[in-house]
Amino acid sequence: MDPRVKPEDDNYKKMDKNLIVQTNGTAIQKAVNLEKIFSIFLAKFIFFMIYPAGILSIIYIFLVNFFPNAIVGVATTWLGLAYLLLAVFLVFLAIKSFFVQRLKRVPIGALSELKENLAKNEPVNLFAVFSFGLAKATSSLFSNKKIEAITLKELSQYLLQADDMSFIILRLGLNPADVTNALENDQKVADILLAAVDIAIADNHNGICSGDLFFSLYQASAGLKNYLQNFQVEATDIKSLIDWQNKVTAEIESRQGVFNASSFRFSGGVGKDWSFGYTVFLRKFSVDLTESIENYGLGLEIIGRDKEIKQIEDALSRAGGANVVLVGNAGIGKHTTVLGFAKKVIDGEVPRGIAHDDILQIDTEALISGVSSEGDIIQRFSACLSEAAAAGNIIVLIENIDNLFSAQGIGTADLTAVLSPYLESGAMHIIGTSEVGPYNKYIAANTSLANHFVRVSVEEPQGENLVKILEDTAPTIESRTGSIVTFEAIKAVIKSAQRYMVNLTEPERSITLLEGAVTRTTTERGKTIVIDSDVADYISEKFELPAAQAGEKEKTKLLNLEKIMHESVIGQDEAIKALAGAMRRARAQVTDSPKPIGSFLFLGPTGVGKTETAKALARAYFDNANNMIRFDMSEYQTKADIYRLIGTKDETGNLTTYVMEKPFSLLLFDEIEKADPDILNLFLQILDEGILTDGRGQKVSFSNTIIIATSNAGSDVISQTLGQNANYDQLKNTLSQYLIEQHLFKAELLNRFTGVIAFSPLDQKMIAEVAKLLIKNLQSTVLKNKDIKIEIAPDAIDYLAAAGFDPKMGARPMQRTIADKVENMLAEKILKNEIKKGDGLTITKEMIS
């Protein structure tokens, strides 16, 4: 249809740039009008009845005319009615077909033609190239108002009512009214429509769909962009959703229409196996992949594996036969790639030599089931391969093919000798799968074996492909759980899987996380729309992390963390400030780094509060004291001790196991300078990438840990430098230099810490405060255990501060002093019944001196 409008037509509304939007006379408006009629209940009912009526009338007319004896006593009235019904039925079919196949669709090339006509300065009617959904939604707007009088907000209001827009808006989790309100009215609708034409052409759409117009609005409106940024929605997200929605629509449309030539599937026919051998025995120990795909309904779509599938195709089509090994980590999609290849084989979309072949996956469980010796397994396997080779149309799939060549074999039988002749002869095709490590160990290392296989590396899907895989997976999960997953939830799943499931590969980890989050949200919370915060809540529970957004109680704690920690740590303001800052940054999610939340090296003399500061943070922040673990690094002074931390193939490691079980925790490494240098090297990776590989090869994420290391190294330097009245920054620089020059710590290790904190020695005033703190603890202990209220006189505190002061030993002498002077005295009095439950006691200097 020619979208050009004749100038003498009525009702046309002139716009700039020859753009006209006229509803009357366009095919798409006719479709909209017909749709209105079809959607009336009475019409629906009549259309529903027309089908059986039409078919019955055909049968009746056929019988009357060709088998008159079969119908006795034919009344001509009924026959006449049958003829009329048949006429109505045929006309109905024709109109319906016309409506679906022609009216609702914009002809291919209409958009390009429109652009050409615009370039020639001819008037064109844009409404004629609107998609059906867009036309239906905006028909009343463009019919009733002049284009110059239409504002962006009005356009948006109508646009957001389109059926295909609801898919996009729902997936973004937006409120249509808020979207409209975010728009400014400072742009011309004509400009927006013209931009939408360009967007549609760029995306190879036949007509302007609702998504194209929405994207045009988004690009033109700063207000809308800002509004969507609050939901972390960007241009690429909207594009991705438009593509998703169009794909779904195209899938539905492709199944409509009676005369659809692409609905035929050419699978080789009834005789595809007639010139090939029997595989009765083989099928007892294998699963027919081609059959399982046919049962899937051939709706299977493999995303992002075209390159790998082509490589398999090329390899297996080589003259003389070849075999393939798909190499990649577990969960990366090796089996899915084989399914994609199998689908092409079924459809005959591969070279003739392998077209319509059967792909049989060896079932290793069945192979070893019920046998009593290795010899039986070897015999079975050999018989299977022999049959496959003789048949001539079999491709054998062996998952984890490296098992055949390892010492373990299958059920401990080494099947290398069985397989090798078949690999060499080229009598059959074998597709194997293997993980990277085992492939390198058992196949690549054996040249004669490796020569018989073409390696196809299967990489992790990333970016757009990963999003598309989840978009493809989501509908299955949604239909099972009766829910809708927003696009932001999908993005959150990908991001969280990357951060918290480092040990698994894409797409398996994202799919697993998506399933878990949706199932949990729908079953336990009863929600039907899964948004990104639902994913965050699921992650918090699954990995025992703090809630995604800090609650009010936690916010108060975070903002007052210094004060809370000072209740148990005297002085050391720099250290406490650095720790509190790291915690606030982490919980406010200011950064997104995979590194630990914070990593600190506390340096200073003994007894000044290094360990106590770490414990204070754990008490202040974690409600649960189990979220901190202390490693005394003086116990890890040899190289072999590294395995106590990271484990071996057979044993778990203390450090890695703890972090796997409690990803959000505080790790305290006391006296770190005493650890073996190889152990210190572990920290380079932990502090830089937030990941450590344990003895079993599993990756452990340290991204949610706080790491505190303490050391006495450089204590003398601290005392000396402070004695020279240097400021804190000078002290830190001097100290760092000293540590590197004395080879106490490597420069690259020191650089990786978030903060290197120098703890200054305690002066007498601080020791007095320490004394008060310790006495306070003693008071609460005695009150709790003995119900005795203790007070201490100021002169007693002064006495204790003087008696317990040792600048070199820090606060530890004070603990001993209080134990000697105060606790001993109390213990005696209690034992002598001089004080009893419910009594009070004021401790004076005389009592303890």
Partner 1 sequence: MLLFFTWWYGEELKNVLKYFETLFAYLFDLFSIRICLSTLFAVWRRDKVNYKGLPIKDIFQAWTMNIASRLVGAVVKIFTIFAYLLVSILCLIFVIFFLLVWLSFPLVVLALIYLGIKNILGL
Residues that bind partner 1 (CB under 8 A): 1, 27, 30, 76-77, 79-84, 86-87, 90-91, 94, 97-98, 101-102, 259-261, 264, 266-278, 390-392
Q: Give me the least distance between CB of 66 and partner 1, in Å please.
A: 14
Instruction: Report the relative pairing of strands 124-125 and 19-20 from DSSP bridges.
Output: parallel
Q: Pick the closer one to partner 1 by CB: 51 or 83.
A: 83
Residues 464 and 236: their CA atoms lie apart, in Å, by: 9
Q: Pick the closer one to partner 1 by CB: 72 or 270.
A: 270
Q: Pick the closer one to partner 1 by CB: 48 or 278.
A: 278
Residues 446 and 81: their CA atoms lie apart, in Å, by: 81
Torsion angle (degrees, nearest 10) of CA 189, 193, 194, 198: 150
Q: Pick the closer one to partner 1 by CB: 80 or 421.
A: 80
Q: Pick the closer one to partner 1 by CB: 86 or 190.
A: 86
Spacing of C-alpha 448 from chain mean position: 41
Q: Pick the closer one to partner 1 by CB: 236 or 260.
A: 260
In one letter, which amino acid is 594? Answer: P
Q: Give me the least distance between CB of 139 and partner 1, in Å please.
A: 18
What does the block give as tokens for 276? 């090939």
Q: Pick the closer one to partner 1 by CB: 278 or 296.
A: 278
The H or E element containing residue 812 is helix 812-818
Q: Give me the least distance between CB of 417 and partner 1, in Å please.
A: 24
Residues 154 and 134: their CA atoms lie apart, in Å, by: 14
Q: Pick the closer one to partner 1 by CB: 271 or 723.
A: 271
Instruction: Report the relative pairing of strands 286-288 and 358-362 from DSSP bridges.
Output: antiparallel
Asked if residue 436 lies in contact with residue 327, where contact means CB atoms within 8 angstroms, the answer is yes
Q: Give me the least distance between CB of 458 and partner 1, in Å please.
A: 32
Q: Pick the closer one to partner 1 by CB: 27 or 511.
A: 27
Collapsed DSSP state (helix, strand, coil) of residue 128: helix
Q: Pick the closer one to partner 1 by CB: 267 or 416.
A: 267
Phi, psi of 597 (to 5 degrees): -50, -45
Q: Give me the least distance between CB of 61 and partner 1, in Å please.
A: 9
Q: Give me the least distance between CB of 90 and partner 1, in Å please.
A: 6
Residues 80 and 561: their CA atoms lie apart, in Å, by: 92
Q: How far is CA 641 from CA 504, 628, 711, in A?
A: 27, 21, 19
Q: Give me the least distance between CB of 318 and partner 1, in Å please.
A: 23
What residues contact residue 347 under an 8 Å CB cut-off, 6+ apart? 265, 266, 267, 298
DSSP 718-736: HHHHHHTT--HHHHHHHHH
Q: Give me the least distance between CB of 438 and partner 1, in Å please.
A: 36
What does the block give as tokens for 497? 């899987």
Collapsed DSSP state (helix, strand, coil) of residue 459: coil
The H or E element containing residue 111 is helix 110-119
What does the DSSP 8-state code read for residue 121?
Answer: T
Q: Pick the closer one to partner 1 by CB: 125 or 483.
A: 125
Q: Give me the least distance between CB of 250 and partner 1, in Å please.
A: 17
Residues 450 and 430: their CA atoms lie apart, in Å, by: 13
Q: Give me the least distance between CB of 321 and partner 1, in Å please.
A: 17
Q: How far is CA 376 from CA 64, 354, 407, in A?
A: 69, 31, 17
Residues 492 and 477: their CA atoms lie apart, in Å, by: 16
Q: Give me the least distance between CB of 404 and partner 1, in Å please.
A: 27
